[in-house]
Amino acid sequence: MKALTFHTFGGPEVLQYQDVPTPELNSNEILVEMKAIGLNFADVYRRKGNYHLLGDPPYIAGYEGSGVVKSVGFSVQNVKEGDRVAFADVPYANAEYVAVPEDHLIPLPEEISFETAASILLQGLTAQYLTRDSYAVGQGTLLALHAAAGGVGQLLIQISKALGAEVIGLTSTEAKKEAALAAGADHVFLYNEEWVKQVKNVSSAQKGADVIYDSVGSTLMDSFEAVRTGGTVVFYGMAGGDPSPVDPRMLMDTSKTLTGGDLWNVITSHKERVSRSQELFDLILSGSVKVPEMTCYPLEQGAEAHRFLESRKSTGKILLIP
């Protein structure tokens, strides 16, 4: 089979499209013929060597995608050849075929396209847990979020609006501002517009937002400045660099909360994985969540897809198509 691989760490130029052996199935695995693969910043970090990788080169990145069941291991009970399926956390996804453990497999309704599934699962499940588990967003919540025009950002806006929140988006360019407004944000401010002051101006008596979702990292202390006394900052990414250390005395003095977020501390069983995915699909089918615009690249042009992702010019999901 063909796969997008790399033998050394580095820039997009290290990526190679080459023949590798088709995976051999364990008894509890399913061989999925890939139809669409989600590209994420984690794949960039793996390519650069920021994440530890098991085994020897050639390495294959990718963790999210969708496709059709080609064959099943002998102990697999509830999956058959031809089933439409998806997954959000299975390695070596940048390939024509992927071996998926049965408990990681998500059934894909006929009404949800392969492209939608590969575009929505990881980022949609992330937005879902952020608004449910990290902070319970509800009617009247004043919420601000960084990187509002990104894949998670646009979904976070829509899910928060469906829950009754007032949403402030934060982003870097006029084009991204328009994308966040189109996703449903009530207000969008650029980082060069004194955004902390702008967030406070939106809030009651200029006290600040109830919660800020920070995936940038380097903005963490400004996020604390922009939330009210007793408010919460949810830290779930470092796209802009490492955050400054947080003084626990500041948290005590202001009654503010810092909480972290990681999807895989929330989705810990097959039942949870399937039920949360189905809720996400239902939001899409009901029209409450519209999938942000996708940009598709052939898998063999994966290096170009990586360059586009790292340029930060994209406003939706980037997909690789085998």
Give tens-digit pLDDT for 31-63: 999 999 999 988 998 999 988 788 889 999 999
Residue 282 reports pLDDT greater than 90: yes
Separation of alpha carbons 20 and 322, rounded Å: 14
Among 95-99, 136-140, 244-248, 260-264, whose mean pLDDT is lowest? Answer: 260-264
Bridge partners, 106 (sequence order)? 86
The pLDDT value recorded for residue 194 is 95
The pLDDT value recorded for residue 29 is 97
| Every domain range in the chain assigned CATH 3.40.50.720 | 139-260
Chain CA centroid to CA 60, Å? 19
Residue 242 reports pLDDT greater than 90: no
The pLDDT value recorded for residue 262 is 87
Average pLDDT over residues 259-279: 92
Average pLDDT over residues 220-241: 94
Residue 113 reports pLDDT greater than 80: yes
The pLDDT value recorded for residue 25 is 96
Q: Which two tokens stand for residue 224?
A: 């604390």
The pLDDT value recorded for residue 150 is 85
Q: pTM for the full model?
A: 0.90
The pLDDT value recorded for residue 7 is 96
Going by C-alpha positions, the residue among 312, 315, 283, 314 that lies closest to residue 160 is 283
Q: What is the CATH number of domain 2-120+267-321?
A: 3.90.180.10
> How large a percentage of the chain has pLDDT more than 70?
100
Average pLDDT over residues 264-281: 94
- In whole numbers, what is the pLDDT of the chain averaged over residues? 94
- Architecture of domain 139-260 in CATH? 3-Layer(aba) Sandwich (3.40)
Residues with Cβ within 8 Å of 283's Cβ and at least 6 positions away in sequence, in order, are 158, 159, 162, 289
| Every domain range in the chain assigned CATH 3.90.180.10 | 2-120+267-321
